Structure 1
């Protein structure tokens, strides 16, 4: 449809330009003929019979009284021509006296002669222009009749060929279910938008597959973590029913209460992780005095196994959620206390190059192997030489801390520093 409209517009433009150019050429010739006759009349040398130039059909000269004083051979003895109507800005004349129907363009001039004013009328035939227009119209119609089907077929084939990879991608995506995330869409060997679409789709499927794997692993690990304290709790309760001795029952109830607290802690951690996962990229925007928060978290009033050495400036403000940032600090401090031998060090500073607040929580315990520095942030990960299920850890603290840092636009990494194993948190400073 678009091609047909373009062809129609182009054909109309060509015909209009051709028509205007041919008529202008014919009118120019007729005017030159009339001007030549006018010069003869002005010089008093006007002959009774005037010769016709090529492309001129007739000439007639009349005086002020309407009498014919000169004419071309085909109008000798004919009455003066009189205009009948005005059409397109040009006078039209009844030219049946010429014996045929003529499409004429008549040019009229007046000239001053020794005997008075005369009117000169020169008629130029438009037959050549009409013929050229008819031939051009027929050629354009024939060309359009051939070109439109050809363009339609070529467009259909080219579009089908171009969209074939898209259809293959659509078919493959439609066939991928929640259990087939290992499948990938076919990638064409070209370097165009379709190839980039396929690459983007496969990258998205990679992320979905990785997310699915993490989710299944998380569910399996959570089930395992919940099963152990539930099994112990049930065993303790069964023994308490079997052996009703007060001393035995008291010890069993105390153990059951400890396992219940562990279950409660684990459930709270799982709920917090679920909230962090659903928060997405909506960064909290409260102004938080990070210096005061660090001091409050380090001096909680609860006795700790190792002393905490604080190195904090006067005031550093970040943007975020104070409760979540407090949980990040608590998790890092708890982790440091579990691994420290004698001391825990907390340093808070700013990085003028990046505009970040830098929080270092260090312990002088065993260093983390470089191969494990990413794995320790995975959920339910416990290194063999580090945490155990009996020391109160759920295996979620560092994962929660890193998620909180990421939600606040920051990072959490583990490094070796002079203070020992250091967990370094970077958070953007609040804008002034």
Structure 2
């Protein structure tokens, strides 16, 4: 799914803004509460020092200077919450209660010549807890101000992301329009005049798209020219060889000079060589057809067709063109065999496989077409007396692999005990 880079940048900036706000808010709360605790602890420490100095000078415990601090000589006299903390072994503690008081405890040991005395300094610091009261009194205002600042930060992040990404979005739209424009038209983007990375990118993209259009146009012209300039002379040569083989050289004595010359050449080199020439011309024509189809494959949409019907059609054409005897044919295909691909390319693939099988197997070869486990298998036998002058089964494999790859099919070639097998895995 397409997602704008502006949305991603805004999400990143917004997340970073929210993270900073939450982090600094938490840090401010921590500093406020720590400051309160440090203030109370300094007050207790100051009272403890004053009591210690007075005890050393006068031998008695003076009352605290601050009224919120009280001195206890016995654990039993302590408030219940503080007594529990002392019993638990704490000498310094902060005790919160649900009833309202908030105690801070500090233990003070006074040394005397006859022993020692332990005092408990307890401060009820509820009136000094300004942070909690501050949030109670002006918490709504602080929350409103914080949300307003956060909204302002998000708005700035949105405007900043929009401003930063706008040139890239314009460039993307222009590139999208240039990709479907007619080849040959000059490609120049509005950001080409910028003196930054976006300007450099626009310049390079414009030059690259222009070169690509030119290359595609040259390839289209080349494919069209090859398809016309090679097919025409190959057809003329094939027709001339076919007529010369059927009528003989003398039949062209008063005919067309070019055709007569081809017929005379065919008679001069012998019927076997003429037959080999005809096969070579047919093979060249078939190769040109395959290459031309592959060159145009990306412009032909895939479709769903019946692979069995197409196989039977190619078998009938093989019988008509080659005069092959169907006595050795075994057809084990389902009644309907739907496949997804390009019908024309598939026809060329089957035609080449079947003609290779008949060519290498000989006139009396047994040919089997079977479909099982999503794979079409074409198996042919090869007679032991086949002449060794054949081209070999690997002839044309590269083109067959390219045809299968163009349709996203798979094809494999294997030698069996008395022949060869081609397995085709179509897209069902």
TM-score by length of 2: 0.45
Structure number with higher strand proportion:
1
TM-score by length of 1: 0.45
Greater relative contact order structure (CA < 8 Å, 6+ sep): 1
Structure number with higher helix proportion:
2
